[in-house]
Amino acid sequence: MMKKRLFSIFGPLICAAVLLGVLFLSPWKIDTSDPKILAQAATAMNDSVFRGDMIKNEAIETGKYVPFFGSSELNRVSATHPSVLAQKYNRDYTPFLLGAPGTQSLTQYGMIKSMAKELAGKKAVFIISPQWFTPKGVNEQYFNNYYSEQHVYKWLTTVNNISEADKYYARRLLEFPKVKNNQLTVDMLKQIQEGKLPTETQKAQIDLQLNLFDREDELFSGIGLGKNLADKIDHFAQGLPAKYDFNQLISIANKEGRADTTNNSLGIKNTFYASHLQSRIEKMKNSQKDWDYRYGPEYSDFQLVLDEFAKNQVEVLFIIPPINQKWMDYTGLPKEVLTGFDKKIRYQLTSQGFTNIADLTTQGNVDYFMEDTIHMGWRGWLAADEYIKPFMETKTKVKPTYKMDERFLSEDWQKEAPVNIEKNE
């Protein structure tokens, strides 16, 4: 009788453990050679794809997919969205969308570093959102959503000569409680901060956990790929002219924008206004008069991204979107906040050799440029495509040359007033 009771209690746990062991030890894994899987992942904007490596790295390695790094603007699909235009006009690249609400520089750095080998020498598009650059940097909840121990451990296994970027990254990671939940990670990050490499014992522990993470990636990163933007992209592509005609596309963008912004005077998409703003619009009046995007840790977090691009000689087009001018006026966001951010981030880019920049920050007053308060929409995506199209079509024979400056990792730079920055010629 006692044996039966014990089995009824522990039997299911033992069976589950055995089945899990069989699953992890079996040779089965996601078939990333299947074009359908890669196509689904390219527009899934899926957490498991962001935090893992297998699918996105395979896609970038093919050379067909180009990473478009950004945040929530990437899921604002309209007729002029980059994925729609690339599909409709059979361009020789397909955007692989790597962004969602809260995927700021620290998350992007982890993803870029994890695909360094596959991305090296290729092209990428990176959208820099002004609203990332708040005084406190990335929100803890957003960081937690996309934090990948797999990426951190892979970084730790590749560190041979500890750089200032490595020390900065370790210090930043240690500021987040979620990272501190793993004592092994904490110990190694503290060592990196002090300029010390992981010990042989720690490396063995890292390798063991990495094997588990990699196997989990092989087994489960394909879950949820069916929920993607493919249907929306197909729908909008069908409504475009057979041949690329910029004037026709402007007309389509204007028509679409006009029809979708009828319930407010701020040029904001009807659905967004109704669900996010309408009930509290009066409270939003002058609510951003004390906001600022000119200072904070995001500037140094972004420098990590630049360092990794430079290290792997990636040719990057940076897109800097505006903010809806009507929204700025209504909420009282000072003009100098946006212009100061723009001056500072452009200097950080150009002074280090990143010269492919689509600076759209002055176009926030253009009708239907923005879909809502801070995200590009109908005309905005088309304006971005005026840079994306030639950037992707140009075959560069000379490798990019970057001159990285550790100053951008410092608190002094984070606190630097844009008015003190010399114009970079």
Neighbours of 17 (CB within 10 A): 11
Phi, psi angles (nearest 5°) of residue 87: -70, -50
Output the pTM of the full model.
Answer: 0.92
Residue 14 is assigned to a structural domain of this protein: no
Residue 152 is assigned to a structural domain of this protein: no
- In this predicted structure, what is the pLDDT of residue 263? 98
- In this predicted structure, what is the pLDDT of residue 423? 54
pLDDT in tens, 181-191: 999 999 999 99
Our count of domains for the chain comes to 1
Strand partners, 126: 69, 318
- In this predicted structure, what is the pLDDT of residue 219? 83
Residue 121 is assigned to a structural domain of this protein: yes
Which class for 233: exposed (0-12), middle (13-18), buried (19 or more C-beta within 10 A)?
buried
Residue 196 is assigned to a structural domain of this protein: no
Residue 226 is assigned to a structural domain of this protein: no
- In this predicted structure, what is the pLDDT of residue 182? 94
pLDDT in tens, 258-305: 999 999 999 999 999 999 999 999 999 999 999 999 999 999 999 999
- In this predicted structure, what is the pLDDT of residue 251? 98
Domain that holds residue 302: 25-138+231-420
The CATH number assigned to the domain holding 95 equals 3.40.50.1110
Walk along the chain (425 residues) in steps of 10 and give the mean pLDDT of each run.
47 39 43 85 90 92 97 96 98 96 96 96 97 97 95 92 97 97 95 94 91 87 86 97 97 98 98 97 97 98 98 98 98 98 98 98 98 97 98 89 97 97 60
Q: Which among 320, 391, 392 is positioned nearest to 350, based on CA atoms? A: 320
Residue 207 is assigned to a structural domain of this protein: no
Residue 8 is assigned to a structural domain of this protein: no
- In this predicted structure, what is the pLDDT of residue 194? 95
Residue 62 is assigned to a structural domain of this protein: yes
- In this predicted structure, what is the pLDDT of residue 364? 98
